[in-house]
Amino acid sequence: MVSAHHGARPYRYFYAGQGRGTVASMTATGQPDPDLGPVQEGPAAIVRGVALLARFLLELALYVTVAYVVYTVSGRGSLRGIAAGAAVVAVGAVWSVWLSRRATHRPAEPVRLLLEVLLFAGCGAALWGLGHPVLGAALVAAWVADRVVLASVRPVT
């Protein structure tokens, strides 16, 4: 039996023969997310929440970096602002379709990891090449640290 809660509360699944349910994260299609498993409780849930917040902030940093890099390398033309905006929209489309937690077309984990490596390492290398090696290295290091933390607190399904 499935019962839905109103608002931002997760769905509860009650399995036959068990007196309690497990809370499961949902995808955009309303199905349980097989990659996330049951919601954790306790300190691991706090660590996971902080890591997911860091992931969101890294996503925003990625957009800012893409805009800066494209704006900088586009030269002096009046269309460089449009080019920077278009690049941000393109990266946002890639992220929302394939990489976000609520993506409708999530590929397998190795493919998602490869896409993230291309995006973050590419932006880090671009920042390095534009004379900002500390920012480039910090972006990549923060992304790697976040991936490690998320992998270490991934719920066991």
Asked if 86 and 77 touch (Cβ cutoff 8 Å), the reply is: no
Residue 6 has pLDDT above 90, yes or no: no
| % of the chain residues with pLDDT over 90 | 54
The per-residue b/e assignment along 33-66, b for 16 or more CB within 10 angstroms, e otherwise, is: beebbbebeeeeeeebeebbebbeebbebbbebb
Asked if 68 and 85 touch (Cβ cutoff 8 Å), the reply is: no
Q: What is the per-residue pLDDT for 23?
A: 47
What are the phi and psi torsion angles at 3 (to 5°)? -125, 135
Asked if 49 and 134 touch (Cβ cutoff 8 Å), the reply is: no
Higher pLDDT, 57 or 102: 57
Q: Which helix (H) or strand (E) holds 13?
A: strand 11-14
Q: Cα–Cα distance between 108 and 2 in angstroms, integer?
A: 27
State the pTM of this model.
0.73
Q: Cα–Cα distance between 103 and 59 in angstroms, integer?
A: 14
DSSP lists the bridge partners of residue 4 as none
Q: What is the per-residue pLDDT for 37?
A: 55
